[in-house]
Amino acid sequence: MNSKKSAYPESWYPLCHSSDLKKGEPLLIEAFDGKLILFRSEDGSPSVVSRFCPHMGTDLSKGTVIKGALRCPFHHRTYGKKGECLKVPGLHEKIKGPGLKNYPTIEKFGLIFMYLGQRPLFDFPSFPRVQRDADFSTALRKDLKTPYSSLLFNGFDTHHLTCIHNREIIAPPIMDSESPYHLRAAFSMKVLIERFYDIAVKFFGARVVDVTLDCWGGNFLIITNKRTKDNILITSVPRDQENSSFFLTTVTNKLEKGLFAEILQRLRLKLTTYLGMAFLKPDEVIVEEMRPDFRSLHPQQDLCVMKFWSFLDSLPKKSI
């Protein structure tokens, strides 16, 4: 393993499903080389801190959570939800040791996210058409043997939509941004029948699909289909320098029309999420072990990818 520290965009990253983090138990995170752990404070909110005790380097994932504080298994030093040292047993009560690194966290859509940086440069992204309480499907996770940077550009690679997804781009994408941390691409594509997924899409009357991609911080991708009321969220995280993961879920406005309508909506959301994963299935084998060389990009065919990588290069980066 390369010992050089990897730097990643300051952005929001998914760490795990909410259900993975139990109250009273620290959780080792499969992200950022396993250097982080999660625990729930007394009010149930998640905290993400550095994994090793600054006293003697003890692995805090083997510790315990007592009354919302993380306790080292070796010398019983305790740490609060912001990583601050609360107690050093055997010393005067006012003497505190060094604290742990702490990162901003938020729990949304059945996932726990962290922001890589001391303070977020941009708010947790909102969805264009979700104006009130959100309903969402269970997020599906996929682990891939590919470097994080090789995974990111896939959404903006419109040329591969024709080659492996049976989509014909009707007109050149329109690209703009709302801030230095945001990039948007809007385009229309014609659905060509070949696979079961395409037949299912056409069954619902979507022969031409108008799509908008909103990317925040490089890895937080909101896919909006203008015809439907649903938004697909794909968000990625590096596990280490050679492996990465992504989570896919569908988010929409919560219905207030009774139990039956709510059940139908949740079924539709689940179906959309599974169809989304099915749509990405052909990409999985291709992107594994991928090593793109961006000097070979074509300014016409790969315009979206070129603009995305320029955007990605401009983002501030951090190491764990």
Q: What percent of the chain has pLDDT over 70?
A: 93
Please indicate, yes or no, whether residues 91 and 140 belong to a single structural domain of this protein: no
259, part of any domain: yes
Q: State how far the Cα of 222 lies from the Cα of 12, in Å rounded to an integer.
A: 13
Return the SS3 of 74.
Answer: coil
Who's near 6: CB < 8 A, 6+ residues apart?
Answer: 33, 238, 241, 319
Residue type, 19: S
Residue type, 290: M
Please indicate, yes or no, whether residues 156 and 92 belong to a single structural domain of this protein: no
- Taking only the tens place, the pLDDT of each residue in 150-195 is 888 888 988 888 888 878 888 888 999 999 999 999 988 887 766 6
2, part of any domain: no
Q: How many CA atoms lie within 13 A of 179 on its CB side?
A: 12
User: What are the φ and ψ backbone dihedral angles of 70, each rounded to 5 degrees?
Assistant: -85, 125
Please indicate, yes or no, whether residues 28 and 173 belong to a single structural domain of this protein: no
- Taking only the tens place, the pLDDT of each residue in 67-116 is 999 999 999 999 999 999 999 988 776 778 899 999 999 999 999 999 99
Please indicate, yes or no, whether residues 41 and 77 belong to a single structural domain of this protein: yes
- pLDDT over 50 (residue 1): no
Task: Take residue 204 and report the two structure tokens written for it.
Answer: 């619902």
Note the pTM of the prediction, 2 decimals: 0.90
Strand ranges (E), 157-204: 167-169, 174-176, 182-191
Q: State how far the Cα of 195 lies from the Cα of 154, in Å rounded to an integer.
A: 20
- Taking only the tens place, the pLDDT of each residue in 109-155 is 999 999 999 999 999 998 877 877 889 999 999 999 998 988 888 88
Return the SS3 of 11.
Answer: coil
Give 59's DSSP letter: B
- Taking only the tens place, the pLDDT of each residue in 249-267 is 999 988 777 788 888 888 9
Structural domain including 45 reads 8-115
- pLDDT over 50 (residue 234): yes
Number of domains in the chain: 2
